[in-house]
Amino acid sequence: MTRSLASHPHTTSRLALSELAPGAMQSEIRAMTTECDRIGGINLAQGVCDTPVPAPVEAEAIAAIRAGHNIYTRLDGITRLRQAIAAKQQRDYGLAYDSETEVLVASGATGGLHAAAMALLNPHDEVLLFEPFYGYHVSTLKSMRVKPVFVPLAAPHWELDTDALHAAITPRTRAILLNTPANPSGKVFSRSEIEAIADVCREHDLFLFTDEIYEYFVYDGTRHIAPATLDGMRERTIVLSGFSKTFSVTGWRLGYATADAKWMAAMAYFHDLTYVCAPSALQHGAAAGLEQLPPSFYTQLAADHQSKRERILAALRHAGMEPTVPAGAYYVLARASRLPGKTAAEKARHLLAATGVASVAGSAFFRHGHGEDLLRFCFAKRDADLDEACARLRRL
Candidates 99, 173, 183, 280: give the one binding ligand PLP (CB under 6 A): 183
- Taking the least distance from each CB to ligand PLP, the nearer of 56 and 184 is 184
Least distance to ligand PLP from the beta carbon of 171, Å?
Answer: 29
CA-CA distance, 275 to 264, in Å (whole number)?
A: 16
- Is residue 283 close enough to count as binding ligand PLP by CB under 6 A? no
Tell me which residues in 228-257 interact with ligand PLP (CB under 6 A): 242, 244, 250, 255
Least distance to ligand PLP from the beta carbon of 249, Å?
Answer: 9
Judged by CB under 6 A, how many residues of this single chain contact ligand PLP?
13
- Beta strands 255-258 and 103-106: pairing type? antiparallel
Candidates 41, 47, 54, 132: give the one binding ligand PLP (CB under 6 A): 47
When CB distances to ligand PLP are compared, the closest residue is: 108
Candidates 99, 179, 283, 355: give the one binding ligand PLP (CB under 6 A): 179
Q: What is the DSSP letter of 207?
A: E
Least distance to ligand PLP from the beta carbon of 271, Å?
Answer: 12
Tell me which residues in 212-231 interact with ligand PLP (CB under 6 A): 213
Tell me which residues in 130-169 interact with ligand PLP (CB under 6 A): 134
Least distance to ligand PLP from the beta carbon of 240, Å?
Answer: 7
Least distance to ligand PLP from the beta carbon of 46, Å?
Answer: 8
CA-CA distance, 360 to 95, in Å (whole number)?
A: 36
**DSSP 3-state assignment of 19?**
coil
Sequence-ordered alpha helix ranges (H) in the chain: 28-39, 55-66, 79-93, 108-120, 135-143, 162-167, 191-204, 261-275, 280-292, 295-318, 344-355, 383-394
Q: Any idea how long the chain is? A: 396
112 alpha carbon, distance to own chain's centre:
11
- Taking the least distance from each CB to ligand PLP, the nearer of 146 and 378 is 378
SS (H, E, C) 294-321: CHHHHHHHHHHHHHHHHHHHHHHHHCCC
- Taking the least distance from each CB to ligand PLP, the nearer of 213 and 282 is 213
Sequence-distant (6+) residues with CB within 8 A of 362 are: 132, 184, 333, 336, 344, 371, 372, 373, 374, 375, 376
Tell me which residues in 63-122 interact with ligand PLP (CB under 6 A): 108-110
Question: What is the signed CA dihedral for 289, 293, 298, 300, rounded to 10 degrees?
Answer: -120
Least distance to ligand PLP from the beta carbon of 393, Å?
Answer: 22
- First-to-last C-alpha distance (Å) of the chain: 49
- Taking the least distance from each CB to ligand PLP, the nearer of 134 and 379 is 134
Query: Which residues bind to ligand PLP, rule: CB under 6 A?
Result: 47, 108-110, 134, 179, 183, 211, 213, 242, 244, 250, 255
